[in-house]
C-alpha cells in the first residue's frame, strides 16, 4: 500500500488500509475504583486481549488489508522534529490540567528522557505517581488536586477502539472532540499524526477537535460518496452534526451532499450508532431492533444544502424508508441482531453483535460469540470472518469500533 492520505467513500468498499491500536499496559492500569471514570464495565486480561487483537489484525492482513498502528504513526510524527514533540507534550499536560511548575516540568522531562516509542507507549499507559519523586509545594502544581489518584497522567485504555477519536470521510477526516475526559487525549494524538506524518500531512480536516460540542467516530458512517449517516447519541450532539454537515456541503474537496442524522437512545449500552447499526452490503444492514419504539419508529433527519447558507431538513420516522430514499434503493435488507428475539437480541447487542466491520461488499468481520446473529447473516448471504472475543469485548466495542479505515476501494 503506497497511497498517501485518505480515501473512504463507503462502509463496504474493499478495505485496503486500516488504523489499529494494539492494547498495551494501559489496560492493566484499570482498577475497580477507576472503571467507571475510564468507561469500562470490567477489566480485560491483557495477555489474552493482545492475543485476540493480534488474531483480528491477522484476519485483516489475510484479507489483503494493510494494518497501520496509531502508536507507530505517532512515533514517526513526533520524530520529525524535537519542537513538534515538545509542543505536543506541552499541550498534553495543559489539557491534563497542569500549569507551569514542578510537576509540569518533571513530567515533561520524564517524557523527553525516553526514546520516542517508549514515550508514546507511556502516554497510553499513564504515569503513576510512584514513578516520579515530585515534591509539590503549590496546589496550582496539581492536576485536579486528587490526592487519591494513583496517576499523574491517567491511562488511555479505550485507545484500542480507534474508530472514535477520528473518522475518515471521503478524502478527509474529522478529528473529534471526545465526550469524556478519559478519551480526549486520543484525538490530540490524531491531530499531531495528521499534521506532521508525511503520509497524512496534506489531508483535509473537515472538523477539528477544538470545539465545545461533541462528536465521535462510532457515530459517523459513510454510506456512499454523497451520503453519511451520523448518530445523535450519548456521545454526538445534533449541533456537531449540523456544523459538520455545513462544512461537508460547503467545502469544494467534499463530495457529500446528504447527511442522515439518526436519533438513538442515549445510554451506555448503545453509545454510538455503529453499536446498533452497520452497513454490510450495497443494500444490506445490521440493526438492533431496540433503537425503534413499539411501533417500529425512529427519528431520522435528512440534511441537504438549502438556499444560501441554509440547510434543508426532512424528518422521517421509518429507518428503512429513509435509507431507501437517501440511497436511491428500491429494496433493502435490514438484518436484526439476535434475529430480533427479545432475549437474544439485547444480549448479542451488548456483545457487539450489531458492530460489524465490512472488509468488502457482503463480507464482514465480527465477534465469534454472537452466534445467533452470525448464523442469520450467513442465511442472508453474508461472508463472515469470526474473531476471538472473550477479553476484547469487555471494553464494549466490536470489530468496527476497533478499526479506522484509511483507504477503501471505490464501489
The secondary structure of the chain in percent helix, strand, coil, rounded to multiples of 5, reads: 35, 20, 45
Q: Which helix (H) or strand (E) holds 299?
A: none
Q: Distance (Å, rounded) from C-alpha 244 to C-alpha 250?
A: 10
Cβ-based neighbours of 100, under 8 Å, separated by 6 or more:
none
Alpha carbon 376 to its chain centroid, in Å, reads 26
Measured CA distances, 113 to 79, 117, 175 (Å): 14, 12, 29
Q: Distance (Å, rounded) from C-alpha 301 to C-alpha 114?
A: 49
- CA-atom Rg of the chain in angstroms: 21
Q: Distance (Å, rounded) from C-alpha 393 to C-alpha 87?
A: 35
What is the SS3 assignment for 246? helix
CA proximity to 134, closest of 104, 96, 113: 104
CA proximity to 392, closest of 154, 19, 45: 45
Strands 166-169 and 172-175: antiparallel
Cβ-based neighbours of 52, under 8 Å, separated by 6 or more:
387, 388, 389, 390, 391, 392
Q: Distance (Å, rounded) from C-alpha 270 to C-alpha 264?
A: 8
Q: Establish whether 401 is a catalytic residue.
A: yes
Dihedral of the alpha carbons of 338, 339, 345, 348, in degrees to the nearest 10: 10
Could you tell me the sign of the dihedral formed by the alpha carbons of 93, 96, 99, 105, in that order?
negative
Which residue among the candidates 60, 262, 401, 402 is catalytic per the annotation? Answer: 401
Residues noted as catalytic: 401
Amino acid at each position: 500500500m503506497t497511497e498517501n492520505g485518505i480515501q473512504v467513500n463507503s462502509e463496504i468498499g474493499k478495505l485496503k488500509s486500516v488504523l489499529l491500536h494494539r492494547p498495551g499496559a494501559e489496560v492493566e492500569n484499570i482498577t475497580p475504583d477507576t472503571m467507571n471514570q475510564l468507561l469500562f464495565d470490567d477489566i480485560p486480561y491483557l495477555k489474552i486481549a493482545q492475543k485476540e487483537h493480534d488474531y483480528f489484525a491477522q484476519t485483516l492482513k489475510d484479507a489483503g488489508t494493510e494494518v497501520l498502528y496509531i502508536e507507530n504513526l505517532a512515533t514517526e510524527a513526533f520524530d520529525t522534529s524535537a519542537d513538534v514533540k515538545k509542543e505536543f507534550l506541552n499541550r498534553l499536560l495543559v489539557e491534563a490540567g497542569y500549569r507551569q511548575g514542578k510537576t509540569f516540568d518533571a513530567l515533561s522531562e520524564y517524557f523527553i528522557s525516553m526514546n520516542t516509542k517508549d514515550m508514546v507507549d507511556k502516554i497510553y499507559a499513564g504515569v503513576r505517581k510512584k514513578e516520579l519523586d515530585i515534591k509539590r509545594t503549590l496546589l496550582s502544581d496539581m492536576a485536579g488536586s486528587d490526592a487519591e489518584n494513583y496517576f499523574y497522567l491517567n491511562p488511555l485504555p479505550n485507545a484500542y477502539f480507534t474508530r472514535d477519536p477520528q473518522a475518515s470521510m471521503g478524502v478527509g477526516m474529522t478529528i473529534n472532540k471526545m465526550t469524556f475526559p478519559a478519551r480526549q487525549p486520543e484525538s490530540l494524538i490524531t491531530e499531531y499524526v495528521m499534521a506532521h506524518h508525511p503520509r497524512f500531512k496534506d489531508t483535509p480536516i473537515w472538523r477539528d477537535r477544538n470545539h465545545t460540542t461533541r462528536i465521535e467516530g462510532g457515530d459517523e458512517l459513510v454510506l456512499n460518496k454523497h451520503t453519511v449517516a451520523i448518530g445523535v447519541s450519548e456521545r454526538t450532539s445534533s449541533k456537531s452534526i449540523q456544523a459538520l454537515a455545513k462544512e461537508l456541503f460547503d467545502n469544494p474537496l467534499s463530495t457529500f451532499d446528504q447527511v442522515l442524522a439518526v436519533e438513538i437512545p442515549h445510554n451506555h449500552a448503545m453509545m454510538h450508532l455503529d453499536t446498533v447499526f452497520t452497513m454490510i452490503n450495497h443494500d444490506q444492514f445490521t440493526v438492533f431492533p431496540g433503537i425503534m419504539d413499539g411501533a417500529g419508529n425512529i427519528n431520522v433527519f435528512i440534511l441537504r444544502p438549502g438556499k444560501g447558507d441554509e440547510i434543508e431538513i426532512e424528518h422521517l420516522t421509518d429507518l428503512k424508508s429513509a435509507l431507501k430514499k437517501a440511497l436511491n434503493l428500491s429494496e433493502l435488507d435490514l438484518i436484526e441482531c439476535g434475529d430480533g428475539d427479545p432475549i437474544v437480541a439485547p444480549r448479542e447487542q451488548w456483545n457487539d453483535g450489531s458492530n460489524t466491520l465490512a472488509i468488502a461488499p457482503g463480507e464482514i468481520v465480527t465477534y465469534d460469540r454472537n452466534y445467533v446473529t452470525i448464523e442469520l447473516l450467513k442465511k442472508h448471504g453474508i461472508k463472515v470472518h469470526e474473531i476471538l472475543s472473550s477479553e476484547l469485548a469487555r471494553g464494549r466495542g466490536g470489530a468496527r469500533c476497533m478499526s479506522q479505515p484509511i483507504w477503501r476501494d471505490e464501489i
